[in-house]
Amino acid sequence: MQHLIFTNDVTATIDRLIHNGNPNLTMWIADANTARFVPDGARLITIPDGDCNKSLETVTHVWDEMERMGATRRSLAINLGGGMVTDLGGFAAATYKRGLRFINVPTTLLGAVDAAVGGKTGFNYNGLKNEIGTFAPASEVIISTRYFDTLPIEEMKSGYAEVIKHAMLSDREELQRLLDHDFSAPISHDDLLERLRRSVKVKVDIVDRDPNELGERKALNLGHTIGHAFEALAMQQDKPIAHGYAVAWGLVAESILSHLHLRFPSEDVHLLGNFVRDNYRGFPFTCDDYDDLLALMRHDKKSRDGEITCTLLATIGDYRIDQTVTPDDVTAALDILRDHLGL
């Protein structure tokens, strides 16, 4: 189990962790955007940013740098960045000499509520996302809002979609509070950190019960079977969208499927749908795209034997994994989604 630390005093926290762990060497792994947050004089491994660099080539660069610095099993790596840095840096650290200790310090909201927590590491391979990886938890994850001030609003919204997902899996009142949020209104660091604490707890509780995703952890895929298809289609059509935007749409589409399959309340579909319509401008897909979307869902890493499987909800907090849905169901849900979003 990984140790989560919610704090806005990151520097002192890291100093304490280094002091307690007594590594013979501390290395920071950061990308072009986050290297400026690394303390002066620290040993730094810089990797190129962007999902296209989440590659084996970048992994070998990190291994080579670790070796050049003389890292041993008693050394420490600190991954400072978004999901790309924590995923790839975590993989490099988890496999170098069969694993050295690493700390994740996510710098984006999406990273804080998703990638940095839960022990998934990996990189893209042969054009497939996170195709190679391991389950290897960071020894500590330091969750802070101090890096968020300079994030674009789209980046914040992208992470917020995962926060909404966690509330859908656990707590109707929390969901209601989240959907009352106004992105143009200021929110204090402390309030946001408190919201993060509740959100991350949902993920951690599920992961602790099923770290290797053999069953219950699939609950965290809510919104992602259809969301990933949106994300991949947008990429294919050369108009990429942020992960969380695709997930937001996926959450609405899969809540519609939940209504069709498990009588998930239609008022909750509407509540969610309105928030997503008002805050997440997606890309205008049409019924001509349905066949491509269905094909992408069938090829999802989570699908089996060409069937489309989702996590669905009976009510907020009552999730059901491994639900098989038919192409006709999905088509109906996509129709309703487009209608709802006014596409």
Q: Helix, strand, or coil here: 324? A: strand
Nearest approach, Cβ of 144 to its own copies (angstroms)?
27
Our answer to whether residue 217 is catalytic in this structure is yes
Among the listed residues 33, 97, 146, 213, the single catalytic one is 213
Site string for its own copies, 2-41 (x = CB under 8 A): ----------------------x-----------------
Task: Give the binding range for its own copies (CB under 8 A) out of 9-17, 78-86, 262-270, 300-308.
Answer: 300-308
Q: Which helix (H) or strand (E) holds 315?
A: strand 308-315
Our answer to whether residue 224 is catalytic in this structure is yes
What CA–CA distance (Å, rounded) separates 130 from 121?
8
Which tokens belong to 190?
A: 């402390």
Q: Helix, strand, or coil here: 56? A: helix
Handedness of CA 271, 323, 159, 342 (dihedral sign): negative
99 near its own copies, judged by CB under 8 A: yes
Among 28, 96, 160, 280, binds its own copies (CB under 8 A): 96
Site string for its own copies, 48-77 (x = CB under 8 A): --------x---x--xx--x----xxx---
Among the listed residues 120, 166, 195, 340, the single catalytic one is 120
- Cβ 108 vs Cβ 150: under 8 Å: no
Among the listed residues 43, 61, 157, 228, the single catalytic one is 228
Q: Which is nearer to its own copies, 97 or 320 (CB)?
A: 97
Our answer to whether residue 213 is catalytic in this structure is yes
Cα-only R_g, the chain = 20
Our answer to whether residue 131 is catalytic in this structure is no
Interhelix angle 327-341/243-262, nearest 10 degrees: 120
| Number of residues lying near its own copies (CB under 8 A) | 32
Residue 146: φ, ψ to 5°: -65, -20
Q: Which is nearer to its own copies, 94 or 233 (CB)?
A: 94
Handedness of CA 159, 115, 7, 11 (dihedral sign): negative
Among the listed residues 165, 217, 218, 277, the single catalytic one is 217
Among the listed residues 203, 218, 259, 261, the single catalytic one is 203
In the DSSP assignment, the letter for residue 119 is S
Among the listed residues 43, 243, 259, 340, the single catalytic one is 243
236 near its own copies, judged by CB under 8 A: no
Our answer to whether residue 120 is catalytic in this structure is yes
Task: Give, in order, the Cα–Cα distances in Å from 176 to each of 10, 158, 171, 232.
Answer: 31, 18, 9, 30
Q: Which of residues 131-160 bind its own copies (CB under 8 A)?
A: 131-136
The region that residue 98 occupies, defined by phi over 0 for left and psi between -120 and 50 for alpha, beta otherwise, is: left
Nearest approach, Cβ of 98 to its own copies (angstroms)?
4
Per-residue b or e along 190-214, where b marks 16 or more CB atoms closer than 10 Å to that residue's CB? eebbebbebbbebbbebbeeebebe
For the annotated catalytic residues, the residue numbers are: 98, 120, 162, 203, 213, 217, 221, 224, 228, 243
Q: State the residues that interact with its own copies by CB under 8 A.
A: 24, 56, 60, 63-64, 67, 72-74, 94-99, 120, 122, 125-126, 128, 130-136, 212-213, 301, 304-305
